[in-house]
Structure 1
Amino acid sequence: MPRLLSSQVDLLSSSPSQRQCERTSFSFYCAVRQRLPAWLLEDMRCMEVFSWEDGGPRAFLPSEALLYALVHDHQDYARFLLKEHSASAMRPTRCSFCRGSGRAPHLAIAVRYDRVSILGMMLATLKDAQVQTAKDFLDCRGGCSHVADAGKTAVQLAVELSRPDCLLLLLVHGALPSGADAALQRLVASDGTERRRAQRCLDFLLLFLPGPPALFCPQDESHRWQSLLGNEVFRWLRGLAPPPLLLQALRCLARSGPDQITALPDFLQLHSRQ
């Protein structure tokens, strides 16, 4: 995202046209950050804002505007873009750094900034798209090697950052439940509030996994893992017992929507059986 003052833009740009494009792009960024009305922002995007690419100006894309809305949590503008442009508002954007074609970064950005409401809007939009289109977005891995989230799906990023609300939304809408090993390691490495979030992430992954994952559990740490996971879940993960009845019941409930799980009292969560 551009964060250049006008004096800095003059120094970095090589032509008056390019400088003008950078000024209008920066003014648009500031307008989204100030959360101006969606209709006004869209008028700016369509008529006043241009980006410089391959030696010339081009119109500012809806997918680029949605990235700005995500960063600044402008929910009204995100809703407008998704309603007007549907899944095309999440099309891959070209990387301005390496000039690569890039991947669709919107779900990963929503997870990184913990934009649960906008993530829900995007997933609802994908639900109405073609099945393969939705899967391409849900299980897309970050592309450019210089990006922090390169090679990671939105689910893996949600696990690593302990974003349980984002993770549940992704899983309910059909994303692959990967990252169980990372969730287990996050549980061990964290404490306090962070551990509770890591525990929730692990619980949600277990609800959507088709079977027990390979558990990272050295023999001399069995008691530690057992205290963290609870005896029934621990034995299931080690292949020593069938899945707990609570796990089987919650699996059916989880697939009906995220609200069904998040509304349950704490004593009916998986971690309550520890």
Structure 2
Amino acid sequence: MPWLLSSQLELLSSSPSERQCERTAFSFYCAVRELQPVWLLEETRRMEVFCWDAGRPRAFSASEALLYAVVHDHQDYARYLLDRYSLSALTAPRCSFCSRRSGGAPHLNVAVRYNRISVLAMIVEALKDYDAEEARRAYLDSCGGCAHGADAGKTALQVAVELSRPDCLLLLLVHGALPHGLDAALQRLDTAAAGERRDAQRCLDFLLLFLPEAPAMRHLQDETPHWQSLLGNEVFTWLCGLAPPPLLLQALRTLARSVPGQISHLPALLQPLSWP
């Protein structure tokens, strides 16, 4: 499975039945990778593909198929699975290594890790099928529960910050994900290579827009010249609690709280990048 750590693949069992299940699953994985038609993929999944689970084969689930669709950006197949199976396609599948339910929101994490923005948008849109707002937010903010996953213990938003995926981050924030991870965003900006700094800056900017209250990060004053050069003096003094936010930042924070979906439609002049 592509979302497992590579060292785990060596530990897969080798009984004849298990190997047959692995072969059918791999064939299906290749078919999704080749962007085969949706009808063919579904016919194959329901009739020919099996997984080894708790000592016996079982049918390949829609949730597992959706993970493959996310990895290979098969948008038509992802759309079909979400339309046909709704929230059941987003349930966490069993870990291929330990056969436990992985928990969390692996589809969100994988979409962010592979930067599948269109599929991520479909997933967060499908979350509207939750009857309760609390359930939707809990899914957005859930962490991977299985220690064998590549993003174990991390929310999709944390993965977006760590990998500097600003478009994915904005989607998650607009749909209600908690804007945690400011320290990680600052660290990422500090260590980003020149070619990655713009995306790291955008991630930090988006987090600043959606913070419920002004942060108080006085420890930044321990390296004042360094952080002033990275953030600009106005943002630096605001983060340290020494001054109000820049006027543009304050206005956009108000917009983010009232109509968050409009942030991505702002003209380039008002896009949140470099507040001074």
Normalised by the length of structure 2, the TM-score is: 0.89
Pair 1:58-2:53 in alignment: no
State how far apart, in whole Å, the 2-side matches of 1:99 and 1:216 are.
46
1:250 aligned to which of 233, 239, 252: 252
2 CA distance for matches of 1:113 and 1:96?
A: 20
1:70-111 Cα shifts (integer Å, max 9, x gaps): 111100000000000111101011112122221131100001
Q: What is the aligned partner in structure 1 of residue 164 from structure 2?
A: 162
Please list the CA deviations of residues 133-171 of structure 1 after superposition, one character each: whole Å capped at 9, or x if unmatched.
312320111222232311111111100000000000000
Q: Deviations over 1:209-234 (max 9, x none)?
A: 01223427443421221222222222
- Runs of at least 5 residues in structure 2 that lack an aligned partner in the other structure: 3-11
The ranges of structure 1 where at least 4 consecutive aligned residues each deviate by more than 6 angstroms after the TM superposition are none
Aligned residues: 265
The answer to whether the 8 Å contact 1:180/1:213 transfers is no
AA in 1 matched with 2:275:
R
Q: Take 1:70 and 1:145, find their aligned partners in 2: how far apart are those partners?
A: 21
SS of residue matched to 2:57 = strand
Q: Which runs of 5+ in 1 are unaligned?
A: 3-10
What residue number does 2:240 align with? 238
2:264 corresponds in structure 1 to 262
Counterpart residue identity of residue 117, structure 2: V
214-223 or 42-51: bigger deviation:
214-223
Q: Distance in 1 between matches of 2:97 and 2:19?
A: 17
Which residue number corresponds to residue 33 of structure 1? 33
Q: Does the aligned pair in 2 maintain the 1:116–1:166 contact within 8 Å?
A: yes
The answer to whether the 8 A contact 1:266-1:272 is kept is: no
Indicate the structure whose relative CO is greater, using CA pairs within 8 Å and at least 6 residues apart.
2
Counterpart of 1:239 in structure 2: which amino acid? G
What is the alpha-carbon distance in structure 1 between the residues aligned to residue 24 and residue 98 of structure 2?
22
CA contact (8 A) 1:230 1:271 kept: no
Counterpart mapping for 1:151-230 below 5 A: 151-215=153-217, 217-230=219-232
Aligned match of 1:18: 18
Where does residue 7 of structure 1 map in the other structure? none
Amino acid of the residue matched to residue 50 of structure 2?
Answer: F
CA contact (8 A) 2:164 2:200 kept: yes
- CA RMSD in angstroms comes to 2.1
The residue number in structure 1 matching 2:138 is 136
User: What secondary structure is seen at the aligned counterpart in 1 of 2:43?
Assistant: helix
C-alpha spacing 1:217/1:26, structure 2 compared with 1 (3 Å): same
Matches for 1:68-83 after TM superposition, within 5 Å: 68-83=68-83
State how far apart, in whole Å, the 1-side matches of 2:168 and 2:84 are: 24
Residue identity over aligned pairs, in percent, reads 66
Taking the aligned partners of 1:168 and 1:216, their CA distance within structure 2 comes to: 26
Shift of 1:251: 2.3
Task: Name the residue aligned to 1:6.
Answer: none
**Partner Cα distance (1:179, 1:185) in 2:** 10
- How far is the alpha carbon of 1:126 from its aligned partner? 0.3
Please tell me the residue identity of whatever aligns with 2:129: D
Residue 121 of structure 1 and its aligned partner are, at CA, apart by: 0.2
The residue identity in structure 1 corresponding to 2:31 is A
2:147 equivalent to 1:145:
yes
CA distance 1:204–1:100, shift in 2 (3 Å): same
